[in-house]
Amino acid sequence: MSDKAKSIASKKSSGQDERLQKVSKLRLLLNRPELGALGGAILVFIFFGIVAGDTGMFSAYGMLNFLDVSANLGIIAIAAAMLMIGGEFDLSIGSMIGFAGICIAIPAIYWGWPLWTSIIFAFAMAVLVGYFNGILVVRTGLPSFIVTLAMLFILRGATLALTRLITGRTQVPGLRVLIENDPIAWIFATDTFTWLFNWLGSMNLIALRTDGTPLATGIPPSVIWFIAATLFATWILMKTRYGNWIFASGGDKNGATNVGVPVGRVKISLFIGTAIASTIFATIQVLDAGSADTMRGNLKELEAIAAAVVGGCLLTGGYGSAIGAAFGALIFGTVSMGIFYTDVDTDWFKVFLGAMMLIAVVFNNYVRKRVTESK
């Protein structure tokens, strides 16, 4: 055994190892990519708690309002984060949302398909689009930024053109009546925990309608999907071999290939992931609004990427966290709705979004330097 190894062994036996372990646990915590986003979320809540505490923002109905917005954004932000960790971008997320919405609405309203079939059709199209994005990026070696930017235009244009061609308009309404009794739609359209809200209402703990029922009826489906997506993505990244492959593909594409990681397959599957997340978003929205619109999802990919960056994901790949992206989405959702409780002009929200991104990138850069330089 080398001298150094002997000294390590002796340290262990003398109990000094416990102290070393404690220091590294704290360091580990401070070095996590989620830290910035968590801190940001706490700050945002403190801010609005002080400024808008008694405006109704933190009433049950008010909280559901910003949580719903955060959750919807979170679903696509998490998928965008995983793709970013894998070293790529998907700028076509917003266009996919519009496209998926039309894939659900047109068959259901104009071709007489049952709603559940249309929903499955939309997800099938998502797999195709994601696969197409992935294959293009992997085979051509072109930057995904360019490939998916092209798909952004292609998908949006196709959505507009096909919808006008088939329906003569840019909107497809009339879906709400189809939700009842549909075997699949309820998964995307049902409020949960209604018993809890009924009970809170009966105890007069939350606001009531004039007929005595609670104003806030239940947890919206987006929140359940959001929590499920966060747990699923975190499990994949942290606990599976595939997750290690994602980090490797983003961290060093060539090196990973050299040690046997199937980088191409990993990236293609991540693109399918963002397309599916876009379709989940679209399905929830279409069923909530009862209609599809060709312009839905416009610019959402930028918000998703911003949330992922705020959540600690490096634009160059190989580092990041799904939980961080979740907190990033929570920050943006809370502020985008919270701003309406104040007297601040809502145009400032865009300034806030950009400023948050800058601060997050600076902070994450600092954390990353500490992670790779501390000894």
Q: Which is nearer to other proteins, 65 or 92 (CB)?
A: 65
- What is the nearest approach in angstroms of other proteins to the Cβ of residue 212? 10
Q: Is 328 in the site for other proteins (CB under 8 A)?
A: no
* Binds other proteins by CB under 8 A, chosen from 113, 116, 252, 264: 252
User: Which region, judged by CB under 8 A, interacts with other proteins, from 123-131, 150-158, 196-204, 334-342?
Assistant: 334-342
- For other proteins, how many residues bind (rule: CB under 8 A)? 88
Residue 277 interacting with other proteins (CB under 8 A): no
174 or 183: CB nearest other proteins = 174
User: Of residues 209-228, which lie at the interface with other proteins (CB under 8 A)?
Assistant: 209-211, 213, 215
When asked if residue 13 is in the footprint of other proteins (CB under 8 A), the reply is no
Neighbour-count burial for 155-179, b at 16+ CB within 10 Å, e otherwise: bbebbbeebeeebeeebbeebeebb
**Touching other proteins, residues 31-90 (CB under 8 A):** 31, 43, 47, 50-52, 54-57, 59, 61-62, 64-65, 68-69
Residue among 204 and 241 whose Cβ is closer to other proteins: 241
Q: For residues 237 and 82, is the Cβ–Cβ distance under 8 A? A: yes
**Is 232 a binder of other proteins (CB under 8 A)?**
no
Token digits for 174? Answer: 């009339």
H-helix or E-strand containing 56? none
Site membership for other proteins, residue 354 (CB under 8 A): no
Q: For residues 335 and 47, give the distance between their C-alpha atoms in angstroms, rounded to a whole number.
A: 10
CA distance 166 to 345: 40
User: Would you state the torsion angle of the CA atoms of residues 339, 286, 149, 360, taken in this order, to the nearest 10 degrees?
Assistant: 30
Residue 18 is a binding residue for other proteins (CB under 8 A):
no
The answer to the question of residue 30 lying near other proteins (CB under 8 A) is no
Q: Determine which residue in the list 84, 103, 261, 280 makes contact with other proteins, applying CB under 8 A.
A: 261
Of 136 and 175, the one with the shorter C-beta distance to other proteins is 175
- In whole angstroms, what is the distance from residue 105 CA to residue 290 CA? 9
Instruction: Confirm or reject binding of residue 290 to other proteins (CB under 8 A).
Output: yes
Q: Does 206 bind other proteins (CB under 8 A)?
A: no
Q: Which stretch binds other proteins (CB under 8 A): 5-13, 120-128, 142-150, 191-199?
A: 5-13
Three-class DSSP labels, 220-279? CHHHHHHHHHHHHHHHHHHHCHHHHHHHHHHHCHHHHHHCCCCHHHHHHHHHHHHHHHHH
**Least distance from other proteins to the Cβ atom of residue 279, Å:** 16
CB 77 within 8 A of CB 326: yes
Q: Report the C-alpha gap between 169 and 190 in whole angstroms.
A: 29
| Binder of other proteins out of 92, 222, 269, 291 (CB under 8 A) | 291
Residue pair 72/222 in contact (Cβ under 8 Å)? The answer is yes
Residue span 147-166 as binding mask against other proteins, x where in contact by CB under 8 A, dash where not: -----------------x--
Residue 147 or 277 having the CB closest to other proteins: 277
Q: Which stretch binds other proteins (CB under 8 A): 4-12, 73-81, 124-132, 224-232?
A: 4-12
Cα–Cα dist 292/69, whole Å: 18
Q: Which residue shows structure tokens 């919807």? A: 72
CB–CB of 342/52 below 8 Å?
yes
Told to check if 319 binds other proteins by CB under 8 A, we report: yes
